[in-house]
Amino acid sequence: MTAVPAANTADPSKTERTNLLGLPEAKLVAFFESFGEKRFRATQVLKWIHQRGAENFDEMTNISKSLREKLKEVAEIRAPEVIQQLDSSDGTRKFLIRVTGGSIVETVFIPEGDRGTLCVSSQVGCSLDCSFCATGKQGFDRDLTAAEIIGQVWIAAKSFNQLQPNGPRKVTNVVMMGMGEPLLNFDNVVDSMNLMMEDNAYGISKRRVTLSTSGVVPALDKLGQYTDACLAISLHAPNDELRNELVPINKKYPIAVLLDSAKRYIAGLPDTHRRITIEYTMIDHVNDRPEHAHQLAELLQDVPVKINLIPFNPFKLSDYKRASNNAIRRFQTILMEAGYITTIRTTRGEDIDAACGQLAGTVNDMTKRSERYRAKFDELQTVKIIAPSP
């Protein structure tokens, strides 16, 4: 366990300075032009923050002293605060990050060969209450700001010294699959994904930045106007009846409507051959039967997809169990025989509770949902079975 130094974490309510950490290049240009500075200043500052990890303006030695003094008055570089860094024996690294208001969100780095994938949170908790998801049980507090979202990338890259000149490139991929539904925090997610992909910031390829949604169709319908990142759909069921139970937003936007929207998004991308990733959490005796696999194969036959089977990770407030290895392999075989690229996600970071679906953090729950779940759980624990009298 290692503490990571955080940038200035002053309470934003006490300052009106603009936090430059969350501004993509176009907005940073507008910021500099608003007080008569040339646009190339925005590029310089962007590089200092995201490619060199600068935490204050005095480090920016190619900027005049007078401009640095001006920036100190009107702007700041404020990342969220890392309160703990947990390193798993398998190389997975989890960051517990305190955001304004005191809630804790989680960010997980998963190394695999040359690839380093960062799973980034977009909200404090989540309002959608998917029945298999630890975050859903936490209730919802608020959207993360763009600075708090890109701040997770900044923190992870900095923890690996990636933001030093010639530092190693450890964070190669980003998935918006942490806590929260990204499309319910549209503007901030779009700004931060743009920063991930901008050449003067992190320069991550659009094929290596993925937004995962459970199906907020109106937002997905407009996503293509703002980004060309990859898309993943949290599907988890092959029919509406089952998905209504697992992913309640399905009652509003059923599978057919969601897949149509996803197809439009992928068809609108400038490059062809891109596939939608279908995420399917494998839950014992719930959605893991051969007939589910056959239904899924039929459902997706005219959608360009690859399928990722995710063994369910049990957690305290859930009665679900992980599907057996046999059931998962059988499911995979059916899909592969139907012609789908189908992978099984390896569970990583279990010793630090970093596995998929376990991101829970500590949320100032505005919905009181977490209290209700805990009460229900405690009640179940105290039920005693009284043996009938002989």
**Contact footprint for ligand SF4 (CB under 6 A):** 126, 128-130, 133, 135-136, 179-181, 214, 234
Task: Considering the complex, state which of residue 171 and residue 176 has its C-beta at the smaller distance from ligand SF4.
Answer: 176
* Cβ-based neighbours of 65, under 8 Å, separated by 6 or more: none
Please state the closest distance from residue 80 (CB atom) to ligand SF4, in A.
Answer: 18
Alpha helices, H only, the chain:
25-33, 40-51, 65-74, 134-137, 146-159, 186-197, 217-223, 240-246, 255-267, 290-299, 325-337, 369-382
Specify the 3-state DSSP secondary structure of 228. Answer: coil
> Distance between CA 249 and CA 214 in Å, rounded?
7
Which among 25, 198, 230, 356 is annotated as catalytic? 356
> Distance between CA 309 and CA 298 in Å, rounded?
17
Determine whether 337 is an active site residue.
no
Strand partners of residue 123? 143
Specify the 3-state DSSP secondary structure of 189. Answer: helix
Task: Considering the complex, state which of residue 195 and residue 233 has its C-beta at the smaller distance from ligand SF4.
Answer: 233
Q: What is the DSSP annotation of 67-86?
A: HHHHHHHHEE--PPEEEEEE
313 known ligand binder: yes
Determine whether 106 is an active site residue.
yes
317 known ligand binder: no
Task: Considering the complex, state which of residue 28 and residue 233 has its C-beta at the smaller distance from ligand SF4.
Answer: 233
Strand pairing class (81-87; 93-98): antiparallel
Please state the closest distance from residue 277 (CB atom) to ligand SF4, in A.
Answer: 14
Specify the 3-state DSSP secondary structure of 194. Answer: helix
230 known ligand binder: no
Phi, psi of 212, rounded to the nearest 5 degrees: -110, 130
214 known ligand binder: no
Please state the closest distance from residue 324 (CB atom) to ligand SF4, in A.
Answer: 22
Please state the closest distance from residue 254 (CB atom) to ligand SF4, in A.
Answer: 16
Task: Considering the complex, state which of residue 81 and residue 106 has its C-beta at the smaller distance from ligand SF4.
Answer: 106
Task: Considering the complex, state which of residue 99 and residue 163 has its C-beta at the smaller distance from ligand SF4.
Answer: 99
Please state the closest distance from residue 122 (CB atom) to ligand SF4, in A.
Answer: 9
> Distance between CA 275 and CA 328 in Å, rounded?
22
Tokens (6 digits) for 185: 């925090």
119 known ligand binder: no
Specify the 3-state DSSP secondary structure of 117. Answer: strand
250 known ligand binder: no
Task: Considering the complex, state which of residue 138 and residue 162 has its C-beta at the smaller distance from ligand SF4.
Answer: 138
Q: Residue type for 376, please? A: K
Which among 81, 106, 148, 279 is annotated as catalytic? 106
Please state the closest distance from residue 126 (CB atom) to ligand SF4, in A.
Answer: 3
Q: Binding site for S-adenosyl-L-methionine, residues?
A: 180-181, 212, 234-236, 313
Q: Which residues are annotated as a binding site for [4Fe-4S] cluster?
A: 126, 130, 133
Q: Residues at the annotated binding site? A: 126, 130, 133, 180-181, 212, 234-236, 313
Q: Which residues are catalytic?
A: 106, 356
